[in-house]
Amino acid sequence: MGFLDINNATKSYGSVEVLHNVDIQVEEGEFLVLVGPSGCGKSTLLNMIAGLEDITTGQIAIKGNAMNGVHPSNRNIAMVFQSYALYPNMSVGQNITFGLEMHGVPKPEREKAMAEVAKLLQIEPLLDRKPGQLSGGQRQRVAMGRALVRDPDVFLFDEPLSNLDAKLRVDMRTEIKKLHQKLGTTIVYVTHDQIEALTLSTRIAVMNGGYVQQLGTPKEIYDTPANLFVATFMGSPSMNLVSVKIVETDQGIAAQTTNGHGKTILLPFLNASAELKSYAGQTVTLGVRPEALTDPGGADRDAANVVEFDSRVLVTEPAGSDTFVTTTLGGTECNARMRADVQVRPGDDVRFAINMDKAVVFDPKTEKRIS
């Protein structure tokens, strides 16, 4: 039993079920990110934890106490909203202490708690201002202050950074991470931004169509996505997916495909699993992250299984830190991430290196990963 338990929770509106049997156990101090495209049910799930939406079936428990039917204010949670939801008629100080006031905390204690939070978030000079006089980043801080001051069991964040401009978003992301490390609080965080999910979380739940597609650490999600949806949704640029044929060779199992010239190439697997072997002769989907497809000099030296081949360059996109090179594998356009200073031009025939340690294989019918 975890700190926050979501047991078999579903949500229906009328006869339409929008969230199907969600099971997540969150330990104390964990940073769980719910990530997925719009309409995947992540905000609904968050609102169910908050008590803003009721739970159709199943149970949500905090510290072992069932929260079904418990009023939001009695769940000992705090929420940071996408629009910050600061009360426009109150000063920053009043905004922060409103929750304490509603819970009947005496004034001296409220003042003390407010001072502590203001110091922590460095918003002391703003306490007498109205939210309308603050910048986006300042409002964000105040919204977090309002959540922190209650000292709740669980913090809920509903896309808190999506209203900020790009640079500020990165700064605030680091702030949130620092805050989590410092306070060790339990956080459930909703976002549609996969970078935010990967950078902030200790665990990620990738959601789509009302189902949790995969629940795991950022590394698990990134390296061994459970299915094609997770593979393409997480990571930017997204994973290259190539149709390949599994063949048995003298050296073992290999993926057979064609390079940019239509010439057949073999990509052998080391230590292929029994499950993968059973696919011999069949067509599967090979997933390769752009950074696992690079120039030979840029390939991971610690990798055990790097295969080199020639292919034609279609497009180059210098991105400063890297150069993205497009070529074709098995007739599909693939994105390779090469070192920044490689000299390649469109139309060139270049040597590519593919790190097969990092390659994953999916069954094209079930879309599930073949282990």
Partner 1 sequence: MAVASSDTAIRTGRITRTFLYLVLLLFALFYLLPFGVMVVNSVKPLSEITGGNMMALPKVWTFEPWREAWATAQIGVEPTGLRPYFWNSIKMVVPAVAISTILGALNGYVLTKWRFKYDTMTFGFMLFACFIPFQIVLIPMARVLGLTGMAGSTPGLVFVHVIFGLGFTTLYFKNYYQVFPTELIRAAQIDGAGFFRIFQRILLPSSGPIIVVSVIWQFTNIWNDFLFGASFADLDSQPMTVALNNLVNSSHGVKQYNVHFAGAILAALPTLLVYIVAGRYFVRGLMAGSVKG
91 phi/psi in degrees, rounded to 5:
-75, 170
Tell me how far, at minimum, the Cβ of 173 lies from partner 1, in Å: 21
73 belongs to the binding site for partner 1 (CB under 8 A): yes
* Under 8 Å between Cβ of 136 and 163: yes
Tell me how far, at minimum, the Cβ of 292 lies from partner 1, in Å: 42
**Contacting partner 1 (CB under 8 A), which of 26, 50, 265, 293?**
50
Token pair, residue 144, equals: 């977090």
From the list 39, 154, 147, 38, the residue with the least C-alpha distance to 86 is 147
Taking the C-alpha atoms of residue 357 and residue 354, their distance in angstroms, rounded to an integer, is 9
**Contacting partner 1 (CB under 8 A), which of 2, 29, 72, 209?**
72
Calculate the CA 353 to chain-centre distance: 28
**Contacting partner 1 (CB under 8 A), which of 85, 183, 276, 342?**
85
Cβ nearer to partner 1, comparing 99 with 209 = 99
Token pair, residue 9, equals: 């929770």
**Contacting partner 1 (CB under 8 A), which of 19, 60, 79, 114?**
79
**Contacting partner 1 (CB under 8 A), which of 8, 12, 57, 83?**
83
Range in contact with partner 1 (rule: CB under 8 A) among 32-40, 84-92, 254-262, 350-358: 84-92
Using DSSP's 3-state secondary structure scheme, residue 123 falls into coil
Cβ nearer to partner 1, comparing 42 with 289 = 42
Question: Cis omega (within 30 of 0) on the bond before 160?
Answer: no
Burial group, residue 213, by CB count within 10 angstroms (0-12, 13-18, 19+):
buried
Tell me how far, at minimum, the Cβ of 156 lies from partner 1, in Å: 9
Taking the C-alpha atoms of residue 342 and residue 169, their distance in angstroms, rounded to an integer, is 31
78 belongs to the binding site for partner 1 (CB under 8 A): yes
* Under 8 Å between Cβ of 284 and 246: yes
Tell me how far, at minimum, the Cβ of 77 lies from partner 1, in Å: 7
102 belongs to the binding site for partner 1 (CB under 8 A): yes
Cβ nearer to partner 1, comparing 98 with 211 = 98
How many binding residues for partner 1 (CB under 8 A)?
Answer: 22
240 phi/psi in degrees, rounded to 5:
-80, 135
* Under 8 Å between Cβ of 230 and 213: yes
**Contacting partner 1 (CB under 8 A), which of 10, 82, 163, 238?**
82
184 phi/psi in degrees, rounded to 5:
60, 35
CA dihedral 36, 41, 46, 50 (to 10 degrees): 170
Strand order across the 293-294 sheet: 293-294, 349-355, 306-312
88 belongs to the binding site for partner 1 (CB under 8 A): yes
Tell me how far, at minimum, the Cβ of 283 lies from partner 1, in Å: 49
* Under 8 Å between Cβ of 306 and 356: yes
Cβ nearer to partner 1, comparing 74 with 217 = 74
Token pair, residue 280, equals: 């011999």
132 belongs to the binding site for partner 1 (CB under 8 A): no
**Contacting partner 1 (CB under 8 A), which of 18, 52, 247, 307?**
52
10 Å Cβ neighbour count for 306?
Answer: 16
Cβ nearer to partner 1, comparing 162 with 256 = 162
103 belongs to the binding site for partner 1 (CB under 8 A): yes
Tell me how far, at minimum, the Cβ of 95 lies from partner 1, in Å: 9
Residue 46 to residues 43, 174, 356, Cα–Cα distance (Å): 5, 22, 38
Range in contact with partner 1 (rule: CB under 8 A) among 94-102, 225-233, 254-262, 276-284: 94-102
87 belongs to the binding site for partner 1 (CB under 8 A): yes
371 belongs to the binding site for partner 1 (CB under 8 A): no
**Residues 140 to 179: which contact partner 1 by CB under 8 A?**
146
Interaction site with partner 1 (CB under 8 A): 50-52, 71-74, 77-79, 81-83, 85, 87-89, 98-99, 102-103, 146
